[in-house]
């Protein structure tokens, strides 16, 4: 098993969110802030559906078209404790990938966190809440975001290995 920190590529197009929403993407639900309508934002340039968009320096989003074009990415993300706040822009709609799961510390000092109930994408309690991580080595490899990202040619994210061990 491996854990990667997911970092939005600084060269990826930026999705700018209104009303200070970017700073609130730290693992607490933001849906109650706009329960009946999408949030508003703007994008510097619209790119192919395989593009992840940078939201500030820690968060990331996909165009709604990506969900239509690649069910594998949708399924790799949907099984987890993640919300997808909708963002409406002048050029199209987007969904921010906002993990709500925080993994607790592990009793095993060789592990970075307790992986017992880990989804494929999460945050770690002992790390800054802006950081997002993904797990590789799940029982069902198709549930892994990094695998879907690579297999279907997505761009806009960087994966930094932070832990490697036996599951």
Structural domains in the chain (count): 1
Are the C-beta atoms of residues 101 and 80 closer than 8 Å to each other? yes
Which pLDDT tens digit goes with each residue over 84-138? 999 999 999 999 999 999 999 999 989 999 998 888 899 999 999 999 999 998 7
**What is the sign of the dihedral through the CA atoms of 158, 161, 166 and 167?**
negative
| CB neighbour list of residue 14: distance below 8 Å, 6 or more residues apart | 43, 44, 53, 54, 55
Tell me the mean pLDDT in the region 13-41: 95
Taking the whole predicted model, whether its pTM rises above 0.85 is answered as yes
Whole domain around residue 54: which residue ranges? Answer: 2-164
pLDDT at 166: 65
């Amino acid at each position: 098993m491996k854990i990667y920190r997911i970092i939005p590529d600084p060269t990826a197009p930026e999705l700018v969110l209104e009303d200070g929403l970017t700073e609130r993407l730290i693992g607490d639900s933001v849906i109650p802030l706009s329960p009946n309508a999408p949030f508003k934002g703007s994008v510097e340039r619209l790119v192919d559906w395989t593009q992840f968009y940078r939201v500030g320096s820690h968060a990331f989003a996909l165009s709604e078209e990506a969900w239509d074009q690649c069910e594998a990415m949708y399924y790799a993300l949907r099984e987890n404790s993640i919300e997808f706040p909708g963002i409406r822009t002048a050029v199209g709609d987007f969904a921010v990938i906002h993990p709500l799961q925080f993994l607790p510390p592990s009793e095993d000092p060789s592990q970075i966190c307790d992986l017992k109930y880990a989804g494929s994408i999460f945050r770690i309690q002992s790390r800054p809440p802006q950081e997002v991580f993904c797990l590789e080595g799940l029982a069902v490899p198709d549930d892994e975001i990094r695998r879907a990202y690579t297999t279907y040619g997505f761009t806009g994210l960087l994966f930094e290995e932070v832990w490697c061990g036996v599951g």
